Chains A and B, each alone.
Chain A
């Protein structure tokens, strides 16, 4: 039972390079999320997708784009990486309960360093 799978686990980029973080869940969840975690800042929501075909900005969307490819997959793209995007990125999913968020299931994280 894989749950939420993120790739890659580690990545080093140079400023200006682009990359895509991949996320897939096998729990048939409607909602998926991308968070970033920085020391002393907790987790901050970048983008989320309440259901297949929809995406919305979270708290810190600048510099990122997302694609909800299908119900299973939600990718995060950095078009032109900056050192400020050095962080640990977490994908999560949840079974939507009407207007309310239930339990989130997290991946193991993708550690990104931008030089």
Chain B
């Protein structure tokens, strides 16, 4: 079964608005990562947050991690049409070399 579950499954917003995606997981983790996938392409790493971190920023991206609730959120501020993609969270339980992905959130940013 998938370790991470994203919410919502699909999100449609207007350009300039903020987009928030959530990820919940079931077991303790070492780190949590967010990836982006444009249609028909491979996944691209966005940001990694470790279990002892609560918040991390990268450009217009803000990621939070709440280990007590086993959840993470990805915020994209001032969204652009080019942000249209699927976004996946992935968890690392530190059990060797495995990374487990959720089912993704499809974000559509309308111009």
Residues in chain A within 8 A of chain B (CB atoms): 4, 31, 33, 35, 40-45, 48, 50, 56, 58-59, 90, 92, 94, 96, 99-109
Contacts and interface: CB of A to CB of B under 8 A. Distances in A.
B101 A43 contact: yes
Given A101-B92, A102-B48, A103-B48, A96 B43 contact: no
B25 interface: no
B99 A104 contact: yes
A42 B2 contact: yes
A100 B31 contact: yes
Contacts of B48: 102-103
B56 to A, nearest CB: 13
A42 B101 contact: yes
B45 A103 contact: yes
B89 to A, nearest CB: 10
Nearest to A48: B97
Given A42-B102, A42-B104, A99 B41 contact: no
Interface size band for B: 20 to 34
A45 B100 contact: yes
A100 B41 contact: no
Nearest to A107: B42
Contacts of A99: 30, 94-96
12 contacts: A43-B43, A43-B101, A50-B97, A90-B42, A100-B30, A100-B31, A101-B92, A101-B99, A106-B42, A107-B42, A108-B42, A109-B40
A6 to B, nearest CB: 8
B26 to A, nearest CB: 14
Nearest to A98: B94
Given A42-B103, A42-B104, A44-B101, 7 more contacts: A41-B103, A42-B88, A42-B102, A43-B101, A99-B30, A101-B97, A104-B35
Contacts of B30: 99-100
B84 interface: no
B42 A100 contact: no
Interface in B67-110: 88, 90, 92, 94-104
A101 B30 CA distance: 9
